[in-house]
């Protein structure tokens, strides 16, 4: 019976990780490897399609500069072209060994657009959480109808499910506040 709540907690934790990963891709004017690490690039003459994190070491040498050091210098130009082709608003430059990406500061209008985007991403996460909650509630109601749990146990499980859901929703709200504060920094 309680395993329903623990399974739900695990699923919600996974949803929270998905949301965190999704938010990390929102550009804030600060250099972070998450901005480019999952961009897929065709390398070795198009023979392979790999993510940048599999092709290079990504670092932030300054607060607004990303440096990519390819493991194989022969694919430097292909990585650069792949970043441009991904159309993520970043312009890489190379010195023959390292790719540098200067992260431009955000305009007020762009900050507001990104704040809306963050809101949309978080709402999608809330929808996923509500779906997990709904499945857990259905599961305990089915257990009750199958006479596997008493009415009191059903009420307790529903309260536990709601408490876990509220806790995770609170964490999502914290993520929103932190990301918006990050976006509004100049």
Q: Using one digit for the tens of pLDDT, what is the confidence trace for 32-51?
A: 787 788 888 888 887 888 88
Q: How large is the average pLDDT for residues 118-137? A: 92
Number of domains in the chain: 2
> pTM for the whole thing?
0.66
In sequence order, what are the residues at sequence separation of 6 or more whose Cβ sits closer than 8 angstroms to the Cβ of residue 120? none
Instruction: Read off the pLDDT band of 83 (50, 70, 90).
Output: confident
Q: How large is the average pLDDT for residues 89-114? A: 83
Q: Are residues 78 and 120 in the same domain?
A: no
The count of residues in the chain is 186
- Of 77, 102, 127, at which residue does a domain stop? 102
Q: Are residues 150 and 177 in the same domain?
A: yes
Q: Are residues 16 and 40 in the same domain?
A: no
pLDDT at 6 over 70: yes
Residue 93 has which token pair? 């430059």
Average pLDDT of the chain?
A: 86
pLDDT at 62 over 80: no
Q: Are strands 92-94 and 65-70 parallel, antiparallel or unpaired?
A: unpaired
Residue 8 has which token pair? 């739900």
Q: Are residues 151 and 111 in the same domain?
A: yes
Whichever domain contains 84, its CATH number is 3.30.1360.40
Tell me, what DSSP letter sits at residue 147?
T
Whichever domain contains 148, its CATH number is 1.10.132.20
Domain assignment of residue 61, given as a range: 33-102
**C-alpha closest to that of 28 among 91, 100, 95, 89:** 89
Q: How far is it, in rounded angstroms, from Cα 34 to Cα 47?
A: 25
């Amino acid at each position: 019976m309680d395993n329903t709540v623990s399974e739900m907690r695990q699923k919600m934790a996974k949803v929270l990780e998905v949301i965190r990963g999704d938010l990390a891709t929102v550009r804030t004017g600060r250099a972070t490897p998450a901005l480019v690490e999952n961009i897929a690039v065709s390398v070795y003459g198009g023979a392979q399609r790999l993510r940048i994190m599999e092709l290079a070491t990504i670092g932030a040498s300054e607060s607004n500069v990303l440096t990519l050091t390819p493991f194989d210098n022969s694919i430097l130009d292909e990585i650069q072209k792949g970043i441009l082709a991904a159309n993520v608003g970043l312009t890489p430059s190379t010195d023959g060994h390292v790719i540098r990406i200067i992260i431009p500061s955000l305009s007020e209008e762009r900050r507001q657009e990104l704040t809306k985007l963050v809101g949309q991403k978080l709402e999608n996460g809330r929808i996923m959480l509500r779906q997990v909650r709904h499945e857990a509630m259905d599961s305990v109601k089915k257990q009750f109808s199958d006479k596997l749990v008493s009415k009191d146990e059903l009420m307790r499980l529903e309260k536990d499910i709601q408490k876990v859901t509220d806790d995770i929703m609170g964490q999502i709200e914290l993520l929103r506040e932190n990301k918006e504060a990050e976006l509004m920094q100049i």
